[in-house]
Structures are given as structure tokens and as C-alpha cells.
């Protein structure tokens, strides 16, 4: 660009692009209080040289000065400002990695230190802009966990800029997170001595707070200057069923439980056998009470074992950027409780496998409420209101089929579905898909127990698959007893007969039976002197299919006959 004076004039024009730079301002910057008599002529010569280099139309003359015309895309400083604004928006929306990359690209627009001959005010502003971009890039990388990689860079930056507090805070945070607590504290004390000696002031309250948290061992605290986070009020409930039937009294009762005042958040667990409509019922209930929880309604399915994925989903829905979500389950649960404090949020946790999966979602303070569905009873869950859904009776079954198909069903079809809502919905879907069938036609196809489950499938609705999801979660002895019970006649099974099927003691067999009751795969159907256990007809159809070989089928019958003979002989001898 030629002489230092030419670069100074260009710097003024570019910094104030598309604005008039007064002639007097240029003269002051070039020569100060004692300009030469030829100042105007020399300045005109500089402008002429710049016009030859940049194009005559680029710089225009006004009555008071000069204007350099440029678009935003031509100005590095404007591109940096645009990158900075975009990065802040990305980070606020949780895209921290992309925001950090954008900030690195902005810093890449600097080729080196500011040219010394530039106007002092312009040089200071360029330096300040670069420091701001650098600080925010380091903040973003701290959020991403890049502590170790940043320590060397921050050490050099702090030495170069000893009075910039934000760099000190970042270095303290990076060191503390790497376990180098004494060095982090030394950074604070060195800064404090510098501030007191040179400026006569103490470090800010924010830096002192970071120092205190490090002293307490809170090494995983976020940077002292965290990025902003947007407030969220999630509305995650699935839609309620338009043809929902029955259970009106239970909806009213549980609505009162969820919305009632208390010293702890209400926790309701709805359990029942596979296909009983637990999720549909809980979603219906959640819609009944959603106005009571204005800060949001959260919904996630655990699918039996994915607790951490649901925790991440909830904290992200409440406004935490993805890169700030803790990787450990206990930390993520603690963060969720922190986010829920003082808020009114309804949490719906679908398909929990055990109480241990539910506890991470339970808030510590009243105001929120938790709704859970499970195929187990979860009686070990502290403070929970336990609700076991029942099968539909004949009238409720007929009402659901009527709402689905628009026509009353026959009694035979209602009986074949056994009051199981999933089976009823599949039957309704089949009748809609096959308008040439009557309900008696479908009932006839369901009459054979060996093929009944083959028919009870429509799209993603499948009775067999629903039962199989429960069966796969059973321990091996429970699976063995479950499938062997299905091979017996439909009469209820006492504990001594279950012991024969398992070839084990009666106490152990009865514990396995009671576990199957908790899983809602068998039920206590005869509570006389001896408890007997039975199966729903559709569950029995599934159980029969699980027999591994014909030899197992034969062995079950042989063991059952032998056990019955022993009991009969004992009874005869006793008489």
C-alpha cells in the first residue's frame, strides 16, 4: 500500500466504510496538532494513490471529507462480526461444536498482529474484537471438554494479557478440571496481587466465586462465564386416543393425586400385562392434568433399559445444549433435578423395567409430578401410588370395537379377544381392512388357539411381539416355568405342581410364580387353602409357542402326571 501514511488513511476509510471520514480527522491522525501547510495537498495525493489501487469509484469526495464504498462481504472486520453473531446463536441453541468451529474460522481472518502504523483507535478496536472472539472460542472449547489442550494456549495468553480477567478464569477452570487445583489457585492469587498492586482493586465477585468453588473441590463446574441458554417449556405428550374408552373413575381419581398439594412430588406407577393399554391410559391421564403443569410436559419411552437416553432427552428439552449434557447417569439425574427446581413440569416415563430406572427421574421438590408405566408392579419404588390396570369387561370391549369399526361386534369376537385392548384394536383394524368380513368371520379364524396369535397382527400392532418383549426380560428359570405352564391343561397350577415342572423345591417355585405375577404374565386365580396360578388365554397361546422341543412337551406332561400321582397317593394315605 506504500507509505505508513497511506496505510493509516486506508485504515480510517475501511474502519468507517460507507461513512464520511472528515478531512480534519485524517489530518489529525496523520500529523497531530501541527500539520504542515501542505497537509491538504499531501492528503489529496494519498487519496489519488488509493484510487489508482482500488478504483476511482471506490472512494468519493464529499464537502467535508471522503467515503470508501464497500460491501459487507469485502470487509474482513464485518465478516468477523457476522461469524461472532452466528457462533453465539449456534452455541445458545446447543450446537457448541459448530459454534467453536465458526469462531476458529473468524480468528483465521487475522494474518498476524495489528500493523503498528495503523490509527491507534482502529488498532485498539481490532485487538479488542480479536480478544473477544478468542475468549468466546475458548469458552466454547471448555464446554466441549477440551481442557487439556487449552492449558498451554491459555498460559501464553494470560502472560500476554495479564489484566484480562476472563482468560484467568478460563485457565483456572481448565487447570481445576485436569486435577491441577494448586496451579489453578496460584493463577487466582497471582492475578489478585497484580490487580491490587497496579490498580488498587480486588478481582471481581465472579472470579472470587470460581476460586471458592475450586477450593470446595467442585472441579466439574462450568466456566465462570457460561454461554447463554434459552428457556424451554416442552410439550412432548403424544396425542390422546380419539376412541379411548372406559376407566373414567380411575382417570378422575389419579388426576386428583397428580394435582394435589403435598410435600413431595406425586409419583404414579401404572402396571399391567403387555397389550393392556397402559401407555394409552397414561397419555390420556397426562392430557387431563397438563394445564396444571404450565412449565412443560416431558415424555420418553425407556424401552426397558435406556435410562440415560431418556435423561438426556429431558435435560435437552429443558434447554441444556447437547454438549453440556453430562455423560454420567447420576450427574445427568442431578442436573435434571436442578432444572426442575421451582418449576411445574409433568414427567411421563413409559415402559420402565424396574424401580432403579424410575428413581433418576423423580424430582426432589413438590410442584412437578411423575407418571410411569411398567410391565412390572414396581412395589419396591418408594412413595409411589401403584395402579394395576385390569382387562376390559365384555361391555367395554364391545364399546371399543364399536368405536373403531362403527358397528357392534358379535359376542364370539369379544370373547376371543379376552378383554385385552391391544387384541381388540387389532381386531378392529382387521375388520376395517377387510370390509367383506363380519365379526363372526374373524371370531371363527380366532377360534383355533394354535393360530390365534397369527391373526392378531396388523401393521405395527402385534400381540405376539408385545408378549415376547416381556418374555425376553425374564430370567432363565422364569422363562422355563412360564412356557411349561402353558403346556398343561388350562386348570390353575398350584405351587407343588410348579415345583415339579421346574424340578426344584416348592418354596423356590412359588417365588418364581410370584415374580411372574409381578410381571403380569400369570395371575393368582384361586385363593383357597392353596394359591393356584393361571394365565390369560392369549398369554397361554404365546406360552405354548415357546416350548423348545417335542421332548420338552412330553417331559412336562410326564412330570405333571408323576406329581399329581404323588399328591393323590399322599392324600389317600392320609385318609
User: Could you give the residue ranges of the DSSP H alpha helices within 63-146?
Assistant: 76-92, 96-107, 120-143
356 contact partners, CB below 8 Å, separation of at least 6: none
Each residue's pLDDT expressed in tens, for the chain with a length of 575 residues? 778 888 888 888 988 899 999 998 888 888 888 889 898 899 999 999 999 999 889 999 999 999 999 998 888 888 999 999 999 998 888 888 888 889 999 999 888 776 665 666 777 888 899 999 999 999 998 888 776 778 999 999 999 999 999 999 999 988 888 778 888 889 999 999 989 988 889 999 989 988 888 887 664 554 433 444 455 789 999 999 999 988 899 999 999 999 987 788 999 999 999 999 999 999 999 999 999 999 999 999 987 567 999 999 998 898 877 766 777 888 888 888 888 888 999 999 999 989 999 999 999 888 999 999 999 999 999 999 999 999 999 999 999 999 999 999 999 999 999 999 999 999 999 999 999 999 999 999 999 998 999 999 999 999 999 999 999 989 999 999 999 998 887 678 999 999 999 989 999 999 999 999 999 999 988 766 788 999 999 999 999 998 767 777 888 888 888 888 887 776 666 55
* C-alpha distance from residue 192 to each of 42, 176, 186 (Å): 50, 18, 10
C-alpha span between 256 and 206 (Å, rounded): 45
Helix (H) or strand (E) holding 352: strand 346-352
C-alpha span between 570 and 563 (Å, rounded): 11
User: Could you give the residue ranges of the DSSP H alpha helices within 219-277?
Assistant: 248-259
Q: Side-chain half-sphere of 560: how many Cα atoms within 13 Å?
A: 18
This prediction has a pTM of 0.62
Amino acid at each position: 500500500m506504500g507509505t505508513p501514511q497511506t496505510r493509516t488513511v486506508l485504515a480510517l476509510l475501511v474502519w468507517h466504510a460507507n461513512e464520511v471520514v472528515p478531512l480534519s480527522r485524517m489530518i489529525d491522525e496523520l500529523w497531530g496538532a501541527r500539520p504542515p501547510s501542505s497537509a491538504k495537498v499531501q492528503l489529496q495525493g494519498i487519496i489519488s494513490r488509493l484510487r489508482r489501487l482500488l478504483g476511482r469509484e471506490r472512494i468519493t469526495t464529499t464537502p467535508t471529507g471522503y467515503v470508501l464504498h464497500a460491501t459487507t462481504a469485502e470487509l474482513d472486520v464485518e465478516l468477523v462480526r457476522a461469524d461472532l453473531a452466528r457462533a453465539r446463536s449456534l452455541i445458545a441453541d446447543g450446537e457448541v461444536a459448530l459454534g467453536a468451529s465458526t469462531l476458529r474460522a473468524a480468528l483465521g481472518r487475522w494474518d498476524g498482529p495489528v500493523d503498528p502504523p495503523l490509527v491507534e483507535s482502529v488498532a485498539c478496536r481490532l485487538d479488542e474484537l480479536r480478544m473477544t472472539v478468542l475468549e468466546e472460542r475458548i469458552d466454547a472449547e471448555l464446554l466441549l471438554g477440551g481442557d487439556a489442550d487449552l492449558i498451554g494456549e491459555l498460559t501464553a495468553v494470560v502472560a500476554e494479557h495479564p489484566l484480562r480477567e476472563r482468560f484467568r478464569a478460563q485457565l483456572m477452570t481448565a487447570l481445576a478440571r485436569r486435577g491441577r487445583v494448586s496451579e489453578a489457585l496460584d493463577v487466582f492469587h497471582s492475578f489478585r496481587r497484580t490487580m491490587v498492586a497496579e490498580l488498587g482493586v480486588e478481582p471481581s465477585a465472579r472470579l472470587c466465586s470460581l476460586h471458592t468453588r475450586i477450593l470446595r473441590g467442585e472441579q466439574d463446574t462450568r466456566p465462570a462465564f457460561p454461554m447463554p441458554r434459552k428457556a424451554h417449556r416442552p410439550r412432548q405428550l403424544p396425542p390422546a386416543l380419539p376412541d379411548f374408552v372406559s376407566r373414567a373413575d380411575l382417570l378422575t381419581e389419579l388426576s386428583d393425586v397428580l394435582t394435589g398439594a403435598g410435600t413431595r412430588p406425586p409419583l404414579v406407577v401404572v402396571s399391567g400385562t403387555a397389550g393392556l393399554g397402559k401407555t394409552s391410559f397414561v397419555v390420556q391421564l397426562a392430557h387431563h392434568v397438563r394445564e396444571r403443569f404450565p412449565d412443560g410436559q416431558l415424555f420418553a419411552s425407556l424401552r426397558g433399559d435406556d435410562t440415560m437416553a431418556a435423561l438426556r432427552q429431558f435435560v435437552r428439552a429443558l434447554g441444556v445444549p447437547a454438549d453440556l449434557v453430562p455423560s454420567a447417569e447420576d450427574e445427568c439425574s442431578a442436573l435434571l433435578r436442578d432444572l426442575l427446581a421451582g418449576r411445574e413440569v409433568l414427567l411421563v416415563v413409559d415402559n420402565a423395567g424396574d424401580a432403579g430406572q424410575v428413581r433418576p427421574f423423580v424430582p426432589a421438590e413438590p410442584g412437578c409430578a411423575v407418571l410411569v408405566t411398567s410391565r412390572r408392579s414396581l412395589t419396591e419404588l418408594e412413595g409411589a401410588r401403584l395402579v394395576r390396570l385390569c382387562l376390559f369387561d365384555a361391555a367395554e370391549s364391545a364399546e371399543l370395537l364399536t368405536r373403531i369399526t362403527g358397528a357392534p361386534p358379535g359376542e364370539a369376537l369379544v370373547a376371543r379377544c379376552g378383554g385385552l385392548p391391544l387384541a381388540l384394536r387389532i381386531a378392529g383394524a382387521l375388520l376395517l381392512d377387510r370390509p367383506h368380513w363380519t365379526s363372526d368371520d374373524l371370531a371363527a379364524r380366532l377360534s383355533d388357539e394354535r393360530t390365534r396369535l397369527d391373526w392378531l397382527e396388523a401393521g405395527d400392532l402385534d400381540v405376539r411381539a408385545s408378549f415376547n418383549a416381556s418374555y425376553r426380560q425374564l430370567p432363565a428359570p422364569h422363562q422355563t416355568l412360564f412356557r411349561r405352564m402353558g403346556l398343561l391343561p388350562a386348570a390353575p397350577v398350584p405351587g407343588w405342581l410348579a415345583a415339579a415342572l421346574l424340578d426344584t423345591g416348592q418354596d423356590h417355585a412359588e417365588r418364581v410364580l410370584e415374580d411372574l405375577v409381578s410381571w403380569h404374565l400369570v395371575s393368582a386365580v384361586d385363593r383357597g387353602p392353596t394359591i393356584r396360578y393361571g394365565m390369560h388365554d392369549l398369554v397361554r397361546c404365546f406360552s405354548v409357542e415357546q416350548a423348545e422341543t417335542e421332548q420338552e412337551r412330553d417331559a412336562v406332561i410326564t412330570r405333571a402326571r408323576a406329581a399329581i400321582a404323588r399328591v393323590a397317593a399322599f392324600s389317600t394315605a392320609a385318609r
